[in-house]
Amino acid sequence: MSELAGESWRQRLLARGGGVDLDRVRAAVGAVVEPEVGRPLAELGLLGDVSAGAGGRVRVPVGLVTRDHPSADLLRSAVSAAASSVDGVRRVEVEFNGLGERARVELVEKLRGGTRPVGATPRIYAVASGKGGVGKSTITANLAVALATTGQRVGVLDADVWGYSVPQLFGVRRAPVALGGLMLPVRAHGVALMSTGFFVAEDTPIVWRGPMLHKALQQFLSDVYWGELDVLLLDLPPGTGDITLSLLELVPDAALLAVTTPQLAARTVASRVARMAREADMPVAGVVENMTAAVCAGCGDTTALFGSGGGATLAEQTGAPLLGQIPLDIELRDAGDRGVPVVVTSPTAASAVELARIASSLPMARRSLLRRSLPLFVSPPASRPT
């Protein structure tokens, strides 16, 4: 009898929703991830009062985090698809609404409250080289996307302020969304990105000195909603200048990934970066040798254009593992020009296969506690029984 009563109640509920189970619609749409924030709509409080009409028509109000939402079309498609997956839904009307001032403040507070300082949980790798032109940024971009395809939450901070290349490598050029002093990283290929290149025109030089560089990096780490990352990759500028020193201070839990080519000159200058890291007690997670050999597009033969042994020698000098040797093929070059990482465009290319393998075998490396100041926690006195 109770089962019949429950079924009767459900039938009346569906009748009020025009034959559509609105609870299921809310659940499906609420699980849609907001493309700029990277969290579900329901969790962010952005899903309005869903209603249904005759003939399976459903109206879904959604709050936009910014008036000029850069991913509005993507969000509309995702919401429509989620609602249409529910039985009985024939037509979906997605209604976008701007957030009021109070709602924006509440959203920012929610995001800030759920943000841990960078370095609290993710594995952090500082990708560095002694000189420019060794493919450091290309390796960073492809490792990030390869990690993201395995389901990991990945971020890339383009710390090469003067020579930024992340916008080009990921094929995105737009300003990040700002919410009350909190910036949302630009997302592409499943990776959260932040770069000075998002704030200036492509041909505009960045002319900053040391204090401005330090402040910019500090803001990228503390005023950007990175969310709960599993891995953060820092694309450092070549050499051992101000930015590298600032990041050693701002992100003490980072481990170094040293990038070199087989060439003696590249290996020599890369060893200086590794030595600087050791002196700062930063662990060296490993060495990556790029441009190991050029692959002929026609016959597949390889030619060691830059000699051999540079990566192995650097690994031996630093006491770190040689994580991989990446060949130089036409697919890798073409992907960089097109703005789509090679692990996406040509996953079977020799370079992409090696990059994916390196990403899957990145070692966990933590900085030693030696000579580090540690916080002191004092437990409150235990209450005595009365």
CA neighbor of 222 nearest in space, from 380, 111, 64: 111
Cα-Cα end-to-end distance for the chain: 54
Using CB atoms within 10 A of its CB, is residue 39 exposed (0-12), middle (13-18) or buried (19+)? middle
User: What ranges do the domains of the chain cover?
Assistant: 2-113, 123-360
- Residue 173 tokens read as 């050029």
β-partners of residue 259 are: 288
Check residue 367 and give its pLDDT. 60
Sole residue written with tokens 């650097």: 314
b/e sequence 168-203, b meaning 16+ C-beta within 10 Å = bbbebeeebbebeebbbbbbbbbbbbbbbbbeeeee
Check residue 208 and give its pLDDT. 59
Q: Which amino acid is located at 376 in the chain?
A: L
Sole residue written with tokens 């209450």: 383
Alpha helices in the chain (DSSP H): 2-16, 22-30, 41-44, 72-84, 101-113, 136-148, 166-170, 210-222, 242-250, 264-279, 310-318, 330-338, 342-345, 350-360
- Residue 203 tokens read as 């041909």
| Fold of the 2-113 domain | GMP Synthetase; Chain A, domain 3 (3.30.300)
Question: Nearest 5 degrees, angle CA 307-CA 308-CA 311?
Answer: 125
| Fold of the 123-360 domain | Rossmann fold (3.40.50)
CA neighbor of 322 nearest in space, from 359, 289, 291: 289
Instruction: Give, for all 386 residues of the chain, the pLDDT tens digit.
Output: 444 444 444 444 454 545 789 999 999 999 999 999 999 999 999 999 999 988 899 999 999 998 889 999 999 999 999 999 999 999 999 999 988 888 888 898 888 875 554 545 789 999 988 777 888 999 999 999 999 999 999 999 998 877 788 999 999 988 898 887 889 999 999 999 999 888 877 666 665 555 676 677 888 888 899 988 999 999 988 766 667 777 777 888 889 899 988 877 766 777 777 777 777 778 889 999 999 888 877 787 888 777 788 888 888 888 889 999 999 999 999 999 999 999 999 999 999 999 999 999 999 876 654 444 433 333 344 444 44
Q: What is the pTM of this model?
A: 0.82
C-beta of residue 36 within 8 angstroms of C-beta of residue 69: yes
Tell me if 2-113 shares its fold with 123-360: no
